[in-house]
Each structure stands twice: as structure tokens, then as C-alpha cells.
Structure 1
Amino acid sequence: MIDSYLEKCRQLIDTVERQTTQLQQAAQWFADTILAGRMVHVFGSGHSRIMVEEMWPRYGSFPGFNPIVELSLTFHNLVVGANGQRQAMFLENVSGLAERILRNYDLSEQDTALVISSSGCNVVPIEMAEEFQKRGVKVVALITKEHSDRSTSKRQDGLKLSDFADLILDTGAPVGDAMVSVPGLDTPVAPGSTVGGALIINSIKAELARLLTEAGHPPKVLTAGVVAGSERATELFEAAYDEHAHRLAKLYAQVGKSTLVRG
């Protein structure tokens, strides 16, 4: 079973490699945003949150990304009871929530967005992409294409995340995500979208770092002390967090000015 899963993962690498042109395009759009002093908005609900955190902040990553993670949609470790999985899955299909989330930010056409949803069929990720596009923000969708194509959208009009994407990337996982069939077990196990998604995220990250460096703005990469030395690593962490704060401040500076109550 281990060999079977690892072989399926090798196939995911091939699928990602076939998307090199699309990955380069995504990296170029993201580079344009970051070089303009703006941010790439990254959103995922459910377990797609994993991909948001894979992008930033973690070792080997750098500022320029706005990780949008709603706890009500992603915190389901308790499984049942308060803050359980049933509620998260319900909220993931509540129309209008995406608009409320994005009401917090002053978006710009210089921004770009990465919206992650393996099925591409849940309402909130779809509406997030739709709302971004309404504001002139280019959207990169990260889906599992085969699974999405064979799934039914939760939206009443049947539209999926891919219908609101300027660029579509595919994790390469199979329908249903799970990749290993165990003899005697009637349902497969061991999902693949996380592996394929992480390959895509980090491929973009590597290409993006090259583009920023060649443009004369090398990124401040979160780096382990064992690699850069304790002092340098601390400098990089502080500088990266400060840059993130300054970029994020721009997203809040003009929010709601037209609605401010003046005394």
C-alpha cells in the first residue's frame, strides 16, 4: 500500500510538470503585484487552508501574500460539538459570506488572488473568486480538475470556481481525492490533493523568488538559523514580518472611508 501511494505521488509530479507554462504565468502575475507594493490574496476553506499556510508564513517563504483564513470555515479539529466539522461544511456553502470577508479589505486591480478548492464546487470559494474578479483582481484557481469536472456545484446556477478564474491549476489528484484501493475495503484511502497542491504552491514560490530577485527586489525569506546563522535568521524574520505588516496596512488604509461617521 505504501508503494502504491508513493507511485501515485510520482504521477502527481508529472501532472504538475506539464503545467509549467501556467505556473510561470501565475508567478509573473504574483511578481507584478508584489513589485507594485500590493499583496497576493490567498484563500482556501476546509482543508484547502493547508495550501494557504504552505504559501506564507513558513520556512522558505516570503512576504507579499495575504493569507485569508476564516476559522469558522477551517477550524474543525474538534470534529463534533462546538466548532465542529458539520458547521464548517455548512458555512462553506452560505452565499454572501465571501462578500462579507472581502469587505474588510481595500482591493486594487494591482492585486492578484489564489483561490484554492479541490472540488471547486463549494459556494464560498466560488464567490470569493467572483468577488475578486468584480474588483478587477486576476484570479488563479487551484482545483483538482478531474474531481471538479465530475462534481456538482453547490451554487444554484451551477457555476464552479473554474468559471471565475483567469488561470486554472490542477493538483492532479483523482476523483474523490483518495488514491489507494485496499483489498477488502470498498472505499479508497490516502488523498493526493495536498501533495499536488504543495508541489504547485512551492513551484510558484520558487519561480516567483527568481523573478523578484532578478527585478532587483530579492525577497526576505524566512530562513532557519541552522542555515543562515541565528543572528541573520532573526533579522530576516523581523524584516519579513515588518514588510508583511506594512503591505497589509495598505489594505486597511482606505476601508470604509465613505461610511465613516464624522463628529
Structure 2
Amino acid sequence: MSSTSDRGERGNSGENKLAGQYFDAAIGLLERVRDEEGAAVAAAARAIADTVESGGRLFAFGAGHSSLAAQDVVYRAGGLALMNLLAVPGVVGVDVMPATLGSALERVDGLAGAVLDTSPARPGDLLVIISLSGRNSLPVEMAMNARALGLTVVGVTSVAYASQTRSRHTSGTFLKDHCDIVLDSKISIGDAELTAPGVAAPFGPASSVVTNALLQATMAAAAGELAERGFDPPMLRSGNVDGGHEWNGRVFSEYGDRIFYRH
């Protein structure tokens, strides 16, 4: 394995200096979450396995760019077929126009309750909530209401925001305060890993890289946990390999009552 200094020497030469620095920063964060979040990942994996084994359903929610990680574990080749996207109109990704409307909707009180009340989520299910800052009303209320409904809540957030920023929720609390399990992405305030002469603002966000990896690691651990219990985890295959569509069709048929992205 190459050392960090070796990577830096290769990546920081010539015109690729900033690209190399970004890769080094992302790798460093990935190594940190691997080394420091192992217990939380294992706990989240067990909770997911418990939910699958007991007949529950899995949901993921994120707003804005945090929705990228939620979407990455839904209907994904190599992923658990039972993971569903809990969509909130106007905040999934940046396709709403103007894009700033999505940010405004994250601060609207009461929206999370309306979404959960009209969703198929029920007691015994599990909800993964992704929010980098964890400070806006929508993720905070989503966690509060989900737990009140009897769902297990796994939060994926940067815990640093709770000590260095103020909550935008009326309770003064953050997402991390209302979760059964918290996965800390370790992302610094502002989500920008690089600075350079001539560039006025910090740049090089790494939250998507780290959060996606953290969630995929958790899903992998959950699949392994289920297998160890003797329960064949319902995984999806790529539709671009021979037999993939047929495989997925059998999974959809067996677990159709717990898969909502096909309705």
C-alpha cells in the first residue's frame, strides 16, 4: 500500500497538483471514517438486517446534494432491493427551478410530517436520513417524526456542524440528536477541502464521495450480516449482464410488497 506522502508526491506534481490534493483529501477522509466509524457502521448494518429479517421495509431520504447518497442505494445493481427512496417533492437533487427553492424547502416546518403521513412507512421499518449539516428543519423533523411513528432512524451527517453552527429548527437540536444510530462523515464545516492562490473561496467538496462510500459500506455489512444469519439477502444484479433482468424479476416478485419504486 502506498503511503500518504507517496500519493502526494505523485498527485501533486505539475498541472495535476490540485487534482492530486483533492484525491489525497478524499482518501484521507475515507480512511478516517473506515477507522473511526466501524462500530457505528456495524450497528447500522445490524439494524438493517434486523429490519429485513423481520419483514420490515427500508427507506432513505436526503435533500439537495445529500439526496445523491440516498439515491445511490435505491434500485442499484449490487444493492439491497428493499431500499426505497423517501422522496420530498422539490428537494430531491437540484432539478427544481430555481435550485435555491430546494434549500428554502429544507427550512419549512411541518413538511416532514406531511411526507411521512402520506408515505408507506410504518412501525418496524427503518429510515436512513442523510444531511451533511443536520441543522435544517426538514431532516430534524423527519427524524423526530419517524421515531415517533416507530421507525428505526439511522442518521448520516457531519457531527462537527452541531458544535460549530446553530440549528435552524425551533428545538435548537440537530439530526444527530434524534437518531438511533449516527454515522459521522467527518466532513469539515463548509464542505470544501482545498484552497489555492487566486481562488477566493475554498473548493473541492468531498461529502458526496465520503457519504456514498459510508452508506455502501453499511449496505455491504448488512448483506454480510444477513448471510451470517442464514438469510439470503435480496440483492439486485445489473441489468447489463446476462440473466440480470430475470434475477431481478424474481426478487421483485418475492419482495414486491416491500419495494415501492416499482409502483
Is TM (by shorter chain) over 0.5?
A: yes
Distance 1:65 1:174 in 2: 28
Tell me which residue corresponds to 2:242.
230
* Alignment partner of 1:92 is 2:106: yes
Instruction: Report the residue type matching 2:227 in the other structure.
Output: T
* Partner in structure 2 of residue 54 of structure 1: 72
> Does the alignment pair 1:27 with 2:38?
no
Partner of 2:55: 37
Q: What's the offset of the Cα at 1:245?
A: 3.0
Aligned CA RMSD, in angstroms, stands at 2.0
Aligned counterpart for 1:15 among listed residues 12, 17, 32: 32
CA offsets 1:109-159 (integer angstroms, 9 cap, x no match) = 422221110000111111000001112222111001223431221112311
Give the conservation status (yes or no) of the 8 Å contact 2:65–2:93.
no
Change (3 A) 1:47 1:208: same
Structure 2: distance between partners of 1:16 and 1:215: 26
Counterpart of 1:188, as a letter, is P
- Residues 221-260 of structure 1: pairs in structure 2 closer than 5 A: 221-224=235-238, 229-231=241-243, 233-243=244-254, 245-248=256-259
SS at 2:154's partner residue?
strand
1:230 partner letter: D
Tell whether the 8 Å contact from 1:147 to 1:177 is kept in structure 2 after alignment.
no
- Indicate how the Cα distance of structure 1 residues 74 and 160 shifts in structure 2: closer, same or farther if over 3 A, else same: same
Task: Return the TM-score normalized by structure 2.
Answer: 0.85
Residue 8 of structure 1 and its aligned partner are, at CA, apart by 0.6
Q: SS in structure 2 opposite 1:33?
A: helix
- 1:248 deviation in Å? 4.3
Q: Which residue of 2 aligns with 1:134?
A: 148
CA gap 1:105/1:127 in 2 versus in 1, 3 angstroms? same
Shift of 1:237: 2.1
Match of 2:21 in 1: 4
Equivalent pair of 2:78/2:235 in contact (CA under 8 Å): yes
The one-letter code sitting in structure 2 at the alignment partner of 1:129 is A
Structure 2 CA distance, aligned partners of 1:148 and 1:192?
19
Choose from 160, 180, 185 the match for 2:174.
160
What TM-score do the two structures reach when normalised by structure 1?
0.85
**Alpha-carbon contact 1:147-1:176 (below 8 Å) kept:** no
Q: Is the 8 A contact 1:221 1:236 kept in 2?
A: no
Query: Per-residue deviation at 1:173?
Result: 1.6
Counterpart residue number, 1:103: 117
User: 1:107: Cα distance to partner?
Assistant: 4.1
Q: Deviations over 1:20-71 (max 9, x none)?
A: 1110000000100011111122111111110111111112112222211223
Q: Could you tell me how far apart the structure 2 residues matched to 1:12 and 1:207 are? A: 19
| Aligned partners of 2:29 and 2:210 also within 8 Å | yes
The runs of 5 or more residues in structure 1 that have no matched partner are 253-263
Following the alignment from structure 2 to structure 1, what is the Cα–Cα distance between the partners of residues 185 and 174? 16
Q: Secondary structure at the match of 1:181?
A: strand
Equivalents in 2 of 1:243, 1:84: separation in Å?
Answer: 41
State the number of aligned residues: 243
Residue 127 of structure 2: which of 105, 113, 134 is its match?
113
**Partner AA of 1:77 in structure 2:** D
Amino acid at match of 1:238: G
Q: 93-102 or 105-114, which moves further after superposition?
A: 105-114
